[in-house]
């Protein structure tokens, strides 16, 4: 299978997330490696995401998704990040996707692509059960140009199973 949506570095990272990933080949499109940032707590998470959204906007990314595991996590994230100008919460399948910044649960993001994707909390606490592996993969593969993952505490074992050369790990002080 050849993937045309994402940059080569994003595909190199995400192919390790699913068993059939070795059959996924990247279209030769350069870009930044995905970044996994480990933060200490939720307030630090919100500070980092706020700063990252501002940086992504200056890089002319028109569609930015903050992808959460569930509708409940999306609602809480939206509440915490509501100070970000023009941020929207997606609660249902919408045929028309607007430009801008959205907070969206992973199951609603399937089939949609975004210039940049922020995985709200890719920690072991949120994504460790095998039953959510495919959901996590789907969330990560929505990114066309940039993929940023944040983890409150210990990083998901799904990420640790990826080639350590395929992403940059940052631990905040």
E strands of 53-159, at which residues? 63-68, 87-89, 100-105, 114-119, 143-152
Residue % of the chain over a pLDDT of 90? 65
More confident residue, 102 or 98: 102
In CATH, what number does 2-171 get? 3.40.50.300
pTM to 2 decimals?
A: 0.90
**Residue boundaries of the structural domains of the chain:** 2-171
pLDDT digits (tens, 9 = 90+) for 148-173: 999 999 999 999 988 888 899 999 87
pLDDT digits (tens, 9 = 90+) for 114-128: 999 999 999 999 999
């Amino acid at each position: 299978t050849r993937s045309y949506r994402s940059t080569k570095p994003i595909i190199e990272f995400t192919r390790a997330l699913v068993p059939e990933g070795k059959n996924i080949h990247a279209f030769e499109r350069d870009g930044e490696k995905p970044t996994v940032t480990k933060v200490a707590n939720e307030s630090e998470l919100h500070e980092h995401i706020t700063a990252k959204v501002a940086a992504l906007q200056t890089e002319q990314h028109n569609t930015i998704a903050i992808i959460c595991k569930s509708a409940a996590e999306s609602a809480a994230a939206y509440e915490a990040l509501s100070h970000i100008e023009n941020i929207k919460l997606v609660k249902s399948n919408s045929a028309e996707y607007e430009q801008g910044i959205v907070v969206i649960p992973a199951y609603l993001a399937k089939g949609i692509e975004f210039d940049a994707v922020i995985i709200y909390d890719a920690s072991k606490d949120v994504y460790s059960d095998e039953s959510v592996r495919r959901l996590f993969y789907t969330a990560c593969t929505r990114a066309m140009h940039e993929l940023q993952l944040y983890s409150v505490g210990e990083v998901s074992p799904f990420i640790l199973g990826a080639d350590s050369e395929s992403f940059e790990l940052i631990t905040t002080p």
